[in-house]
Amino acid sequence: MSDPLFLFPNLGAEEGDGWRRMASHPRVRAAARLWAALFRPTPEFAPGLSGALGRDGGSAAFELCDLRGLVPWLSTPEALALAREQGLPLAAAAPELVARVHDKAFALERARAEGLLPAELAKTAFALGPEELDAADTVQCRIEEEVARWPRELGEEFVLKPRFGTSGRGRLTGRDGRLDLESLRGNLPRFRERGGVVVEPWLERSADLSAQLWITPEREPRLLGTLQQIVTPTGVPIGHTGRFEPDGAVRSGSPWDDELQRAAQALGRAAAAEGYTGPCGLDAFSYRAADGRERFRAVVEWNARFTAGTSALGVLARARRAGLLERARRFHVGIAPELALGARIPLFADDSELGLWLGP
């Protein structure tokens, strides 16, 4: 008998044990339900898609999602311990490997090595490890000295991001090349716990994009699609939009899409070379530079886990098999109807917000 499927929805596990406190938030619950719908439905976690999509409920959204064992959102030591407790294999890459390639410093290092950063940013962003975050005044001086070397306009506002974090949480902002010492002192313990920090300029974003991949057991990065993200002002994704290409591919519709795909494949190859397999995603954005021109940062963060984008693409795969996409050219999946297209197709019978919208 094959192993059963056991889903471990540890969304936000980058926050350590804090992910459990977020689990009851409506948006987290919605994201968890969409994620569960990627797999063969189980009564405990996926009571079933409603309406027309429900006709496709007997199989996984993607063949790659036809998994057995314990499947976590993010592979962590906690997930591995639970798998062993349940007597199940962990259907994910080893936690220590995930920690290496999920680190924001990994994405920064590979982007710099591959020449994927805009020229004006290539010599700015840098990472500090937890061992480098000792006395607050020493850390303050080091960061401010580095920022002083940046072009003046890039140092006007900058951020410290935990190397392990999600949805923009836990940032500390500096302004005019300076950090507030007391704020830094208060944040240092948390930064140490979460692997250190990445320091980078704060940019005026004009569009948030992502590429979703799956690295196969043969270590082949397979592109699932690209998307435009709808995010809150704090960076929390609440929906995805894009276009269907004539060949059926799902694309963001952004003029930066080709560059995004090339960057995603480069990061996918780098993660595969480290031994990573499984779902992953690349976050990117376009931004308004100091000269007023729009530019593209193809590598912002690399997620070595499932993402909300993976789930959105799974919904679209099910919708295609259910025959709903024959005339559609655009789509919106999420919980932001004021930004959506056409009439809502509910994804769950008991959810009044979450839906799929299709447009010409």
Q: Is 51 exposed, middle or buried (0-12, 13-18, 19+ CB in 10 A)?
A: middle
The CA-atom distances, in angstroms, between 330 and each of 206, 243, 253 are: 20, 4, 9
What are the backbone angles phi and psi of residue 169, rounded to the nearest 5°? Answer: -80, 150
How confident is the model over 227-246, as pLDDT tens digits? 999 887 766 678 999 999 99
DSSP character string of 307-350: -HHHHHHHHHHHHHHTT--SS--EEEEES-GGG--SSEEESSTT
Give the residue-averaged pLDDT of 267-293.
95
pLDDT bin (cut points 50, 70, 90) of residue 120 is confident
Any idea what the Cα angle at residue 282 is, between residues 281 and 286, rounded to 5°? 145
Give tens-digit pLDDT for 182-227: 999 999 999 999 999 999 999 989 999 999 999 999 999 999 999 9
Q: What does the pLDDT look like over 306-336, one tens digit per residue?
A: 999 999 999 999 889 888 888 899 999 987 6
Nearest-angstrom CA–CA distance, 342 and 358? 6
Here the tokens at position 65 are 């999602």
> Which runs of consecutive H residues, i.e. helices, occur in 114-256?
136-147, 152-155, 181-193
Q: In order of start, what are the domains of the chain with their CATH numbers?
A: 5-101 (no CATH), 116-201 (3.30.1490.20), 204-359 (3.30.470)
What is d(CA 139, CA 143) in angstroms, rounded to the nearest whole number?
6
Instruction: DSSP for 10-55, please give it.
Output: -TTGGGGGGHHHHTTSHHHHHHHHHHHTTSS--TTT-----GGGGG
Alpha-carbon separation of residue 23 from 99, 173, 206, 307 (angstroms) = 22, 27, 30, 15
For the chain, the first-to-last Cα distance in angstroms comes to 46
Distance CA 191, CA 163 (A): 8
Alpha-carbon distance of 184 to 263, in angstroms, equals 33
The CA dihedral of 210, 216, 220, 222, to the nearest 10 degrees, is -30
Q: Is the CB of residue 81 less than 8 Å from the CB of residue 15?
A: no
**Cα gap 122→140, rounded to integer Å:** 22
pLDDT confidence bin for 337, thresholds 50/70/90: low
Q: Is the pLDDT of residue 251 over 80?
A: yes
Residues whose CB falls within 8 Å of the CB of residue 51, separated by 6 or more in sequence, listed in order: 345, 346, 349
**Is there a contact between 212 and 281 (Cβ–Cβ < 8 Å)?**
yes
| Mean model confidence pLDDT for the chain | 90
Q: Give the pLDDT of residue 1.
A: 45
Distance between CA atoms of residues 199 and 173, nearest Å: 10
Lowest mean per-residue pLDDT among 60-74, 117-131, 223-237: 223-237
Amino acid identity at 314? G
Return d(Cα 65, Cα 353) in angstroms, integer. Answer: 26
Q: Which two tokens stand for residue 289?
A: 């530079």
When pLDDT is averaged across residues 9-30 and rounded to a whole number, the result is 86
